[in-house]
Amino acid sequence: MAKADQRTRGTSSAAQQPLYEQVYDELAARIATDWRPGSRLPSERALCEALGVSRLTLHRALTLLRSNGLVERRNGRGWRTPDTAVSEAPNELVGFSELAFGRGLTPSSVVLHAEVRESTLAEAELLRIAPGAQLFDLERLRLLDGVAVAVDRAQMPLVRAPFLPDVDFGTASLHHTLGDHGVWPTTGQYTVEVWDADARLAELLEVPVGKGLLVASGTTFDQDKVPIEIGWIAYRPDRYRLQTRLVRRGRPLHRAGSS
């Protein structure tokens, strides 16, 4: 005999909502706040006991969650949250749009600012241009299937890419645009670190102020080994995964007396 639901409804609005939808709402909230992408949910028995509902009610809620892409079930081995974090191939320079298309996702951008201005001394040194030379300064909120994933900012010398101010980067890929004009981003030198989200980045990426963001910053070079872009991209840590490959060159250092 199926276990009866023990749950009580405390408000008139809740009383009008089917019980499985209430369970759906609670689980969806926990997926958004407590369970990271790729996490395994508690067993169905544990969920039933915690929520005070029958197996049938729980199944209706889980089925609805699955149809909306919030959970998945693999080979009958329990329920999991989808692994939505994106990652770059090890040691490859890949643009955000390429990364998205490679995962079957749709990239989009919101242009936060795009302006032509004079370069600072530090920017000029990195880009090998004269101090005060004009550059194109672009900042965008980057989304995958409409979900905010990162904020990036790039500065590029106009002397090498004078066409940039005429491009709508709300839809266009920066690296594809450069390539279409014969400027091919081919190598990059980047540093990866953690930034605490300030109020502005926190609002854009929908995270608490002070949340650690995974940030890659550095310089991109074209096919002639000339710097074409400097900047950074800050990812939500639950929506991006960094992959790399480490190779030892030569034998490990061995000292007498060590094991």
When divided into structural domains, the chain yields a total of 2
What pLDDT is recorded for position 251?
60
97 has pLDDT over 80: no
Decide which of 5 and 145 is more confident: 145
Lowest mean pLDDT among 7-11, 169-173, 201-205, 233-237: 7-11
Residues 97, 177 share a domain: yes
42 has pLDDT over 60: yes
H helix runs in 17-145, sequence order: 19-33, 44-51, 55-67, 96-102, 121-127
Q: Is residue 202 part of a domain?
A: yes
90 has pLDDT over 60: no
120 has pLDDT over 90: yes
135 has pLDDT over 90: yes
Region 38-51 average pLDDT: 88
Residues 111, 234 share a domain: yes
Domain containing 25 — which CATH number? 1.10.10.10
Residues 157, 55 share a domain: no
145 has pLDDT over 90: no
Lowest mean pLDDT among 40-49, 73-82, 102-111: 73-82
196 has pLDDT over 90: yes
Residues in the chain: 259
What pLDDT is recorded for position 75?
64
Residues 111, 196 share a domain: yes
Residues 204, 110 share a domain: yes
> What is the distance between the alpha carbons of residues 41 and 27, in angstroms, rounded to a whole number?
10
Q: Is residue 2 part of a domain?
A: no
Decide which of 86 and 78 is more confident: 78
What pLDDT is recorded for position 35?
76
Residues 156, 122 share a domain: yes
101 has pLDDT over 70: no
Q: Kindly tell me the sign of the dihedral angle through the C-alpha atoms of 43, 74, 63, 83.
A: positive
Q: Is residue 250 part of a domain?
A: no
Residues 70, 90 share a domain: no
Task: State the residue range of the domain holding 76.
Answer: 12-80
Residues 120, 194 share a domain: yes
Residues 39, 150 share a domain: no
Which CA distances in Å does 131 have to 88, 118, 120, 136, 228? 34, 8, 6, 14, 15
